[in-house]
Amino acid sequence: MGVPRRTRVTIGADGDGRRRELCLPRPVALLLVGVMLVTWVVAALLAAGVVRGRNHEARIVELERELAAARVEALAAQALRDELDRTRALQDDLLKMLGLTRATAGADAEADSVCDLPLGVVAADAPPPNESAAADAADPPAGEIEPGAPPSRWPAVGVIVRGFDPGDPARGREGYPGVDIAGTEGAKVVAAAAGDVDFVGEDEVLGKYVEIRHGLDWVTIYANCQSIKVGPGHRVRAGEQVAKMGRTGQAPAPQLHFQVWRHGVAVDPRQYISGEPAPR
């Protein structure tokens, strides 16, 4: 059955309710249908283009926001880098005032490992010549072998460049759980009291560190070390070397980050250790 030669098209109804009809030749009817189809296709394409344009505009706005956030982060990173440079310069000035110098880079090949000695072996190496003050501070006193006493001596020679801060949890201000002692890279780090080495590790913040338990009440932590001289299970005397000062982790310069914990709460080492860690 083919398309009729003429097509009847109903236009509408006039005032008296009668419909008005037109009879169009077949070519004209096909042309009208084609025009309608083309109009629908063009309208659909235009609508899709508008949607895509709006999506592109939204994506551009999102990218601009991400770019602004990245710029803010870059400025914050630059400010932190400048602050670290100022801290390093301050530590250099303090070391000069104390008559100390930085050890040359790579002077100690033992710094490549977290723990340089196997379990049950205690380091017996002599300190470098420029560590005579540290050697004097590291000589363990007679007696005091049993752990359990609070820390009684500074673990390194140098100067405190950042002190303990308990913070203010009620106001959302974070504290600082220890003190930073700036000194010479590779200088001795000794146990602040007799105890048992509980843990040796390394992370991005503390760098290489050692944790010593002193009985049931006390724990001390020695961080940012260049190398560790003891392993888990060692029993150490007060003043016995446990590590070497370094700048691992987030330390901006050679220093020892020293923490004292009592009953699971960080406390200020100055409450229990008198004087300053500077060499006498």
Each residue of 28-39: pLDDT tens digit?
777 878 888 888
Please list, residue by residue across 205-237, b when 16 or more beta carbons sit within 10 angstroms of its beta carbon and e when fewer do.
ebbbbbbbbbeeebbbbbbbbbbbbbbeebbbb
What is the per-residue pLDDT for 255? 96
**Radius of gyration, CA atoms only, the chain:** 39
Give the Å distances, CA to CA, from 112 to 9, 23, 91, 107, 200.
93, 97, 25, 11, 14
Each residue of 87-142: pLDDT tens digit?
777 777 777 776 665 543 333 433 333 344 433 333 334 344 334 334 444 444 43
What 3-state DSSP class applies to 186?
A: coil
Q: Please give the Cα distance from 244 to 19 (Å, whole number).
A: 104
Decide if 280 is inside a domain: no
User: 0.85 exceeded by the pTM?
Assistant: no
Please say which residue of 40, 64, 98 terminates a domain: 98
Please say which residue of 64, 98, 132 terminates a domain: 98
Does residue 249 contact residue 204 with C-beta atoms inside 8 Å?
yes
In this structure, the answer to whether residues 168 and 203 fall within a common structural domain is yes
% of the chain surpassing 70 pLDDT = 72
Please say which residue of 98, 133, 166 terminates a domain: 98
In this structure, the answer to whether residues 262 and 162 fall within a common structural domain is yes
* Count of structural domains within the chain: 2
Decide if 43 is inside a domain: yes
Does residue 236 contact residue 195 with C-beta atoms inside 8 Å?
yes
Q: How confident is the model at residue 52 (pLDDT cuts 50, 70, 90)?
A: confident
Q: Which helix (H) or strand (E) holds 255?
A: strand 255-262
In this structure, the answer to whether residues 262 and 184 fall within a common structural domain is yes
Q: How confident is the model at residue 69 (pLDDT cuts 50, 70, 90)?
A: confident
What 3-state DSSP class applies to 30?
A: helix
Long-range pairs of 260-264 with CB within 8 A, sequence gap ≥ 24: 260/150, 260/151, 260/178, 260/192, 260/218, 260/219, 260/220, 261/218, 261/219, 261/220, 261/221, 262/150, 262/217, 262/218, 263/217
Decide if 149 is inside a domain: yes
Decide if 276 is inside a domain: no
CATH number at residue 179: 2.70.70.10
Decide if 236 is inside a domain: yes
